């Protein structure tokens, strides 16, 4: 199910209706503040605990339908969750104040829309409230879809209904799916590129933790504390595994949201095919990248995202704008500057875009292989499996 929100303007309301609507919004806002206060004391996001603690009291205090009180509780819980999330990133983050009147939330059962009469009916504790609404012809069909939790918002003297509608999923044909490329590296652990997306996953935390553990173990080894060395290795492994879980989750979610196809570097057999590439040697010395790809593969399978393993050769030397491929394009480790068209960008982002471009031109290499080095020595299909990864093997083919 996909949800969309239709913004519908209400026709001007008479005084009585406007007052009733405004007072409902205000009571709802106070109800959210009440729940927020309780949540702050309880320090929980568990709705059952919160419900037990304050539902009865809220029913007595607020003249609102039961489901609207639940919506107020959910709104406060969501705000608390977002606040905790922000606090994790920045300790100084302030809690929300709910000073302004909030939009009135309506559970699906409290709202009914009559398209042919151009009215919406909302349930209030004092009976139904009928509101005239403007339905543009472009929304005429979509307002009939089943709807979810919607909101009534006031802007100046106008009221709007933000109607959440659920439309059944329409499978996107492979040809129209956006292609994403994922470049792995050391300065950036991973760079994800796709239409309108450029995400960088900094390699610094990983490098820092690894070197810290390395130095710690050196010191232990000097004192011949073998048991502690072992335990420290276990802790490092746990830390890095957790880090890979987070990174892979974000990558897969981004691609899944766009119903895209993800192109990753194929690490299998890379040692034979690309002898002596400094980057490859460094990458293979750690297990991190193989594990990251393994996590991405199984998470992608769960979300219905197709992962295609691509031959990573020349992705760092090719210009993602004009296709010109030359070693000199890579001026520094981090910078890419095309000798042919002068395009400049982050080198890892350029590589990720090149990987994404492999999917966009399925006829073959799409200018990735320079003339003279046709890549014939491999003779294998462009699409390979990440065979080293135990998790999931159903990587679909690109055709
Ligand atoms: Zn270029």
User: Which residues neighbour 232 within 8 Å (Cβ) at sequence distance 6 or greater?
Assistant: 213, 216, 217, 220
Q: Is residue 232 within 8 Å of residue 216, measured between CB atoms?
A: yes
Q: What is the pLDDT of residues 177-192, one digit of tens each?
A: 899 999 987 778 899 9
User: For the residues 70-80, what does the mean pLDDT come to?
Assistant: 94
364 C-alpha vs ligand 1 centroid, how far in Å?
19
Please give the angle made by the CA atoms of 376, 377 and 380, to the nearest 5 degrees: 75
- Between the CA of 351 and the centroid of ligand 1 the distance, in Å, is 13
Cα 320 to ligand 1 centroid, rounded to whole Å: 7
Residue 3 banded pLDDT, cuts 50, 70, 90: low
How many angstroms is it from 201 CA to the middle of ligand 1?
25
> Torsion angle, CA of 393/397/398/399, rounded to 10 degrees?
-170
Residue 81 pLDDT class (50, 70, 90 cuts): very high
Q: In terms of DSSP bridges, do strands 197-202 and 188-194 run parallel, antiparallel, or are they unpaired? A: antiparallel
Helix, strand, coil shares, percent, the chain, to 5: 45, 20, 35
pTM above 0.85, yes or no: no
Ligand 1 geometric centre to CA of 259 (Å): 29
Cα of 203 from ligand 1 centre, angstroms: 27
What is the average pLDDT across 31-35?
95
Q: Kindly give the distance from the C-alpha atom of residue 344 to the centroid of ligand 1, in angstroms, as a whole number.
A: 8
Tell me how far the alpha carbon of residue 319 lies from the centroid of ligand 1, in angstroms.
5
- Residue 294 in this model has a pLDDT that exceeds 90: no
Mean pLDDT within 109-137: 91
Taking residue 377's Cβ as centre, other Cβ atoms within 10 Å add up to 9
Higher pLDDT, 382 or 286: 286
What's the gap in Å between 359 CA and the centre of ligand 1? 19
Coil vs helix vs strand at 346 = strand
Question: Residue 220 burial by CB count (10 A; 0-12/13-18/19+): exposed, middle or buried?
Answer: middle
Phi, psi of 322 (to 5 degrees): -110, -10
For residue 399, name the pLDDT band (cuts at 50, 70, 90). very low
Summarize pLDDT for 159-178 with one digit per residue, the tens. Answer: 999 998 886 665 566 677 89
Q: 358 CA to middle of ligand 1, Å?
A: 16
CA of residue 324 to ligand 1 center, whole Å: 5
More confident site: 374 or 114: 114
- CA of residue 281 to ligand 1 center, whole Å: 28
Per-position DSSP letters for 357-393, written without gaps between them: HHHH-TTS-TT-SPTT---TTT-S-S-B--TT-SS--
Least Cα distance to 232 among 215, 245, 249 occurs for 215
Higher pLDDT, 2 or 73: 73
Report residue 383's pLDDT band, with 50, 70 and 90 as the boundaries. very low
- Residue 350 Cα to ligand 1 midpoint, Å, equals 11
pLDDT in tens, 234-288: 898 899 899 999 999 999 999 988 889 999 988 765 555 445 555 555 555 565 7
Annotated domain spans of the chain: 13-88, 104-167, 179-360
Please give the structure tokens belonging to residue 252: 């897969």
């Amino acid at each position: 199910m996909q949800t969309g929100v239709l913004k519908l303007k209400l026709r001007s309301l008479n005084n009585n209706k406007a007052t009733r609507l405004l007072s409902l919004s205000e009571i709802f806002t106070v109800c959210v503040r009440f729940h927020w206060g309780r949540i702050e004391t309880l320090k929980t996001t568990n709705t059952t605990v919160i419900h037990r603690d304050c539902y009865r009291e809220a029913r007595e205090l607020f003249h609102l339908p039961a489901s609207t009180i639940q919506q107020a509780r959910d709104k406060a819980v969501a705000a608390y969750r977002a606040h905790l999330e922000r606090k994790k990133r920045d300790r100084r983050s302030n809690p929300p104040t709910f000073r302004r009147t909030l939009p009135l939330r309506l559970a699906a059962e409290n709202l009914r829309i009559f398209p042919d009469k151009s009215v919406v009916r909302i349930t209030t504790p004092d009976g139904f409230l009928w509101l005239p609404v403007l339905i543009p012809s472009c929304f005429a069909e979509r307002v009939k879809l089943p709807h979810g939790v919607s909101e009534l918002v006031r802007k100046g003297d106008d009221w709007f209904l933000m109607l959440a509608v659920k439309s059944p999923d329409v499978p996107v044909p492979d040809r129209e799916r956006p292609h994403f490329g994922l470049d792995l590296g050391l300065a950036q652990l991973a760079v994800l590129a796709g239409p309108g997306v450029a995400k960088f996953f900094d390699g610094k935390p990983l490098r820092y933790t690894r070197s810290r553990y390395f130095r710690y173990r050196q010191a232990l080894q000097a004192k011949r504390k073998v048991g502690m060395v072992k335990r420290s290795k276990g802790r490092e492994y746990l830390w890095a595994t957790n880090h890979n879980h987070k990174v892979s989750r974000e990558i897969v979610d981004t691609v899944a949201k766009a119903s895209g196809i993800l192109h990753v570097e194929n690490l299998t057999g890379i040692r034979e095919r690309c002898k002596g590439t400094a980057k490859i040697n460094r990458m293979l010395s750690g297990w991190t990248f193989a594990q990251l790809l393994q996590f991405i593969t199984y998470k992608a399978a769960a979300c219905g995202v197709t992962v295609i393993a691509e031959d990573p050769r020349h992705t760092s030397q090719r210009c993602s704008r004009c296709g010109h491929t030359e070693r000199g394009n890579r001026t520094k480790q981090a910078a890419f500057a095309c000798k042919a068209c002068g395009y400049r960008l982050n080198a890892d982002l350029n590589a990720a875009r090149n990987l994404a471009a492999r999917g966009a031109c399925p006829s073959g290499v799409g200018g990735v292989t320079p003339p003279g080095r046709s890549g014939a020595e491999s003779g294998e299909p462009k699409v390979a499996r990440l065979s080293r990864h135990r998790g999931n093997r159903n990587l679909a083919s690109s055709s």
